[in-house]
Structure 1
Amino acid sequence: MGVASVITAALPTAPVLRSEWIKIRSARAVLGSLLAVFAATAGITVLTAAAIGTSEPGALGEDRLFGAFFGINFGQSAAVAFGATAFAAEFRGGALRVSLTAVPNRTRLYLSKAVAVAGLSFLVGQFTGLVTFVAGQAFMGEYALALGDPGTLRAVFGSGVYLTLIALLSAGLAALVRSGTLVMGLLIPFLLIVPFVVGQVMDGAGQFMPDRAGQLVMRAHAEGSLGPWSGLGVTALWTLAALAGGWLAVRRRDA
């Protein structure tokens, strides 16, 4: 069997993807965390803009474009929870054995879960990015940005991609360590706290952290040596490494 045949044999199929959607839809914690991505990002941004948006030009941050996504750090925590819980559900109560009975090809099962997480995260992320920007700027008065302003469309689209990558990063880590709780307990504080600790070393290794790099796509002015898309690319590399580690773990460990 050639390499192409092996790859084709492991690609997701419509029935497997449908079953993964059913799993996500029927698990309240998983579906709730996905909806929380929108609620946290858009809700916190709009509430903050309504409260202080017209007080001064930089009320939501010195970078006004990044300030338009003020709630992104809260939304990314929900994205971590979504990716982690979506994958970790397979490692509770022998669920993985049941899944492998239905889909014996472990690579196909893993890729199907990743595609389901990516697809739902991307759809919710894009909707979240657009609503967050438009609704938030509606409360900014004379300091509001428009969709036609330089960098705004890139930031709206990039914010959705960023949330997708964060969800997949946590999904890969959950598959690697077989614990959604552990991933959330480590990754959420890492993304929320560590950036403040390394904030003074942006010209060094700190700029290559997954959140710091990825969030450059939402900034009007890049920090450090990375640009908006190269920064998002760095986050994608972190995500690919986590997904690769999770795939190896699923292939080699007992169910």
Structure 2
Amino acid sequence: MTLSAALHTEWIKIRSLRSLAGSLLAVPVATAGLSLLICGMLGRPEPGSTDFDPVLFSYYGLNFGQLAAIILGVIAMAGEYKNDGIRISLAAVPNRTLFYAAKLAAVGGCVLVVGLVAGAVSFLGGQALMDPGFGIGIADQGALRAVIGCALYLSLISLLAAGVAALLRSVTGALSVLVPLFLIVPFVVGDLTRGGGAADFLPDRAGQQILLQHPVGTLGPWSGPAVLAGWTALAVVAGWWSLRRRDA
């Protein structure tokens, strides 16, 4: 089977399985929907706030959108092992590397597209809903970078999740690792290191540097996503090794 045929097969799975289609749709809905809601309700930073970033303020919903991206990546990969479905997939695509590459390309590509839509809607809509004097335009520093960065961040997160799922071969197992990694560990490490140091190199903290108009901390707007890409590459390679070396 060719790569294009394998990609077409994976696309059919994503758009036809309700769990995958629903997770993909939830990425832009959660990201943009909650971002617009918060910008519309608050409109401005809290009084006395010294760390207000007008770009990041438009992406409040990203923390929820990334959960949908994680779930999509996990279900798309680990779901293959439910009821031995992986055997059918590998019978259709015997080349495991080709199967894995097509799976990652389909998941990452779909999230990249919806992430770009979510990034544009979140920024443009969020800035329009903010109180006069607090919003910025798409031509201002960091604005366009953040729109593109939102898509890149969500896509890398989904690939990282798929890699972990391929390694653990379990939806429950993968989520039990990924959800604490993104929702609990950053705050624990941040408290232990007093907001800096090792916490800056965690996947979410590093990747979200691209969403700041004026990045703070150890990493910059592009070195941060590079660190996230390193995490993603590590997970993807580990998943590829598991798929290649272990029995289906």
Superposition TM-score, scaled by structure 2 size: 0.93
User: What is the identity, as a one-letter code, of the residue corresponding to 2:159?
Assistant: L
Q: Which moved more, 1:138-147 or 1:169-178?
A: 138-147
Q: Structure 2 vs 1, CA of residues 115 and 141 (structure 1 numbering), >3 Å: closer, same or farther?
A: same
Distance (Å, rounded) in 1 between the aligned partners of 2:94 and 2:140: 50
Which consecutive segments of 4 or more residues in structure 1 shift more than 3 A? 54-59
Q: Is 1:205–2:198 an aligned residue pair? A: yes
The gaps in structure 1 that reach 5 residues or longer are: 1-9
Distance (Å, rounded) in 2 between the aligned partners of 1:203 and 1:54: 26
Question: Aligned to 1:231, which of 209, 221, 224?
Answer: 224
Aligned 1:1-255 pairs, distance under 5 A: 13-54=3-44, 62-142=52-132, 143-200=134-191, 201=193, 202-255=195-248
Q: Give the number of equivalent residue pairs.
A: 244
The gaps in structure 2 that reach 5 residues or longer are: none
Distance (Å, rounded) in 2 between the aligned partners of 1:184 and 1:35: 19
Distance (Å, rounded) in 1 between the aligned partners of 2:189 and 2:242: 31
Paired-residue identity, %:
49
Q: Is the 8 A contact 1:58 1:64 kept in 2?
A: no
Q: Structure 2 vs 1, CA of residues 54 and 212 (structure 1 numbering), >3 Å: closer, same or farther?
A: closer
Distance (Å, rounded) in 2 between the aligned partners of 1:57 and 1:25: 45
Q: Is the 8 A contact 1:54 1:139 kept in 2?
A: no
> Considering only aligned residues, what root-mean-square deviation do their CA atoms show, in Å?
1.7
Distance (Å, rounded) in 1 between the aligned partners of 2:45 and 2:235: 42
Q: Structure 2 vs 1, CA of residues 241 and 225 (structure 1 numbering), >3 Å: closer, same or farther?
A: same
User: What is the identity, as a one-letter code, of the residue corresponding to 2:4?
Assistant: A
Superposition TM-score, scaled by structure 1 size: 0.91
